[in-house]
Structure 1
């Protein structure tokens, strides 16, 4: 699953490739927007908001801020990606998985593959799409105090589930939540109220994403690409801190829209060291 740093990097790449350019063509391969044509529109910017992406475009002849502007809103979900291609460059993913293609007048294109969500909304109404998100770990309005308060709002909730809830703080995915729990020496199922240093965990989340937002992810810093995580994906391997074997399990979490403590749930993978992270 792409996480906040991946999405931030994707926004930076597309902004560098498209910002300030007019679109020669657009192709939305979803029924709701299949007839929408943004040819002649100008790409103003591409920004990330947690795990969401926003391509903001202005109509031909637009002279006033916000005048008729639209935002192409997308979410990568589990397997999605946006890729940038030069004129005539062959796509590196199967064409049938493309859900959106934005082509600039110089032939540069951005292609969204296997997107979990793609829609076009009025830029003035972006808050309806992403306003529910908590403070963005890589955004200009990062507010650690609010992120901590959001996490504490349900003190009995498992911290591993609370960290993944984008309404609390935006940008953490499954890899980071497992790594954060290890670095904080807490089991992912530990209730938020029992986490000994929640502000430290929030600060660590910020440091990790900031450190990795401009490079290939290396959450442990210095162990190399084969050991780029402390616990995630390392089932049965020795802990890099104490040599105890890493354990894999699952943690039940509420599905979006069903409420934090009741309703339908899904199981998500967790990894931990039983010695470094005893369940409190």
Structure 2
């Protein structure tokens, strides 16, 4: 699933293409929105909220989308052929005089009053890339359940919005914390949360995610995606497992030496 920085960059590009322009043609290809017509609507802005995308219109409506695992928005110039996937995978078409924003395989797409956006994003914790970022509030939410593992707590969007499995693995490594450590036992949790915000902020302007400073393929992570390979610090073999609540288990990576088990 795209993490907060990927969604932030996608929204910035969508905003540059659509904001301040009227929709000349629109199609929302899901049954519940099939009769909705956004033609003539002025786009005010396209903004991220964690991993969610909010297309706000001047008439007081918001189009909410979430990419989850397979969704994507592609932007094309007027007259340019669409190359984001087969036509039957298109779920949304927003066309202005200059650009076409095409949503492919969008699993979440809904229209609601802008004043009621809290219905879809109000449950989220402080946004790591948002103007509401509040480190102290994020720490408070994480430690509200001190027995929960830090690995699970970091992925819970109700604690802090935007973090995913790449950043979880890398932040825990950089802090020397095993992902199964109870949240209440993590030393310097405020520093861990600060590092999460700093790292995702550092990556938000580029498509590549890197925690090492190396943007080359194979060199972007310390532990993520490197199971069975030697740790870049101590040469111990990186390990991996899936854990979490049933149906919400996610793959985790760690170095047994640099991140001793609790």
What TM-score bracket applies, with the shorter chain setting the length? Answer: over 0.9
Distance 2:21 2:140 in 1: 41
Aligned partner of 2:89 in structure 1 is 97
Aligned partner of 2:120 in structure 1 is 129
Any conservation in 2 of the 1:236–1:247 contact (CA below 8 Å)?
Answer: yes
1:241 aligns with 2:233: yes
Aligned partner of 1:43 in structure 2 is 43
Q: SS at 1:208's partner residue?
A: helix
Aligned partner of 1:279 in structure 2 is 261
Q: Give the 4+ runs in structure 1 shifted more than 3 A.
A: none
Give the Å deviation of 1:88.
2.1
Q: SS at 1:71's partner residue?
A: strand
Unaligned 5+ runs, structure 2:
none
Pick from 198, 208, 211 the counterpart of residue 219 of structure 1: 211
Give the Å deviation of 1:117.
0.7
Deviations 1:39-85 (A, max 9, x none): 000000000000000000123xxxxxxxxx10000111112111111
1:24 aligns with 2:24: yes
Aligned partner of 1:231 in structure 2 is 223
Aligned partner of 2:146 in structure 1 is 155
Q: SS at 2:212's partner residue?
A: coil
Give the Å deviation of 1:222.
2.8
RMSD: 1.1
Aligned partner of 2:248 in structure 1 is 266
Any conservation in 2 of the 1:218–1:225 contact (CA below 8 Å)?
Answer: no
Q: SS at 1:227's partner residue?
A: coil
Distance 1:275 1:15 in 2: 45
Aligned partner of 1:172 in structure 2 is 163
Any conservation in 2 of the 1:218–1:224 contact (CA below 8 Å)?
Answer: no
TM-score, length basis structure 2: 0.96
Deviations 1:129-150 (A, max 9, x none): 1010000000011100000000
Q: SS at 1:201's partner residue?
A: helix
Task: Please list, as runs of the form range in 1=range in 2, the aligned pairs for 1:46-65 lying within 5 A after superposition.
Answer: 46-59=46-59
Distance 1:271 1:185 in 2: 12
Q: What is the number of residues matched between the two proteins?
A: 260
Distance 1:199 1:157 in 2: 17
